[in-house]
Amino acid sequence: MLEKDRILYEDNHLIVINKRGGELVQADETGDRTLIDDVKEYLKVTYNKKGNVYLGVPHRLDRPTSGIVVYAKTDKALTRLNEMFRGSGVKKVYWAIVDKKPNKEKGELVHYIVRNSKNNISVAYPTEKKDSKIARLSYSLICSSDRYHLLEINLHTGRHHQIRAQLKAIGIHIKGDLKYGAERSNPDGGISLHARKISFLHPVKREEITIVAPPPKDALWSFFLNKVEENKEKEESNN
């Protein structure tokens, strides 16, 4: 049964979940149980629903990534969310724990991504290639530990494995991401990439909503979260 503290937002039209690294957003060829199965079970039990429970999937999150996943509870909401996620109506912010600092503390990355569907991997190139799609993101270095660094990333396009591929292209690797060049895996098999915040116009109520997902509760994420909160308190006290 889905834990209630993982539900970040819910009304008659939407339910937003804090996904764990390693969970599937929806079914794939592995046949493993999915987050959508757990959410449907929660809705069925909580609201005493009979028969099949409707739940639409307007976007995806890579299996090893944690953080915000939005599901639609009505067909009307799904149709409008699909349009927003395909266009520029959704603002997404990610946190990534990485092994190296970028050359500049703030910047924008622009690449051309080619997806290899057979190997389920994407490569980011500095110039346009055959079958490539342009990929843009902006980043800022938030804070560092002795060995790792926390980046905040704003996605401006939504390409396959975009953050992972673009960071690799500049010699930076997300902790635990063996597929894109990390030295070792994380204990839980996930990667240290977290869908931290999302903002969009509610598909039915037509009001702006912003949702923030707490990061995983392991020691390194907790360290960085505490650092962020300490820095925020210092800034507020100085103003």
48 burial type by CB count under 10 A (0-12 exposed, 13-18 middle, 19+ buried):
exposed
Asked whether the predicted pLDDT for residue 177 surpasses 80, the reply is yes
Give the tens place of pLDDT for each residue, 190-209.
999 999 999 999 999 999 99
Paired strand residues for 111? 135
Q: Which amino acid is at 186?
A: N
225 CB neighbour count, 10 Å cutoff: 16
Residue reference for tokens 């949702």: 211
DSSP-assigned states of every residue in 49-114? --SPPP-B------TT-EEEEEEESSHHHHHHHHHHHHTT-EEEEEEEEESS--SSSEEEEEEEEE
Q: Which of 67, 76, 58 is nearest to 13 (CA)?
A: 76
Residue reference for tokens 């060995």: 147
Where does residue 67 fall: left (phi above 0), alpha (psi -120 to 50 degrees), or beta otherwise? left
Q: What is the mean pLDDT of residues 147-155?
A: 97
Strands 66-72 and 193-201: parallel
Asked whether the predicted pLDDT for residue 238 surpasses 90, the reply is no
Give the tens place of pLDDT for each residue, 77-133.
999 999 999 988 999 999 999 999 999 999 999 999 999 999 999 999 999 999 999
3-state secondary structure (DSSP) of residue 139: strand
Note the pLDDT of residue 164: 98
- Residue 102 and residue 171: Cα distance in Å, rounded? 9
Q: Are 135 and 128 in contact (CB under 8 A)?
A: no
pTM of the full predicted structure?
A: 0.95
Handedness of CA 83, 28, 24, 150 (dihedral sign): negative
Residue reference for tokens 């098999």: 189
Note the pLDDT of residue 239: 73
Q: What is the mean pLDDT of residues 232-238?
A: 84
231 CB neighbour count, 10 Å cutoff: 12
Q: How many residues does the chain have?
A: 239
38 CB-near residues (< 8 Å, 6+ apart): 1, 2
